[in-house]
Amino acid sequence: MTVLGDRVQKEELLHLHMLFIHVRKYYETITNEEIPTERYNSLHISPVHIHKNKKSHKEAILVLGQEIVDHIGRKPAMLSFSHEMSTPSEIAVEN
């Protein structure tokens, strides 16, 4: 079984693909550095390409995710939490 199994609907893949784009852009915004995504860019697919097949979107998600993880993994732990953020005991848990 692959990470993105065959039972995943195309609409779900498009949402996940868009989420990864948002993750990349958010990281780039808060760090002021660009995540290199040459492999992803070479696929010539984006979440708005709704007519591309599921396999193409799965590949794009996996490649983009790997490039994000690889980039962040090469960086020293530079992201920190604000003192104003909730402590774990203050976080509400939904049952």
pLDDT tens figures, 3-20: 565 667 999 999 999 999
Which residue ranges of the chain lie beneath pLDDT 50? 1, 85-95
Contact 87, 43 (CB under 8 A): no
Name the residue among 74, 75, 68 with its Cα closest to residue 35: 68
- Say if 69 falls within a structural domain: yes
Domain count within the chain: 1
Cα separation, 37 vs 53, in Å, equals 21
6 burial type by CB count under 10 A (0-12 exposed, 13-18 middle, 19+ buried): exposed
| Residue 5 resides in a domain | no
- Residue 3 lies inside a defined structural domain of this protein: no
pLDDT more than 70, % of the chain? 73
Is position 2 within any domain? no
Q: Are 64 and 40 in contact (CB under 8 A)?
A: yes
Is residue 17, in this structure, part of any structural domain at all? yes
Range of the domain at 56: 10-90
What does pTM read for this prediction?
0.72
Domain CATH for 67:
1.20.1270.110
CB count within 10 Å of CB 70 equals 12
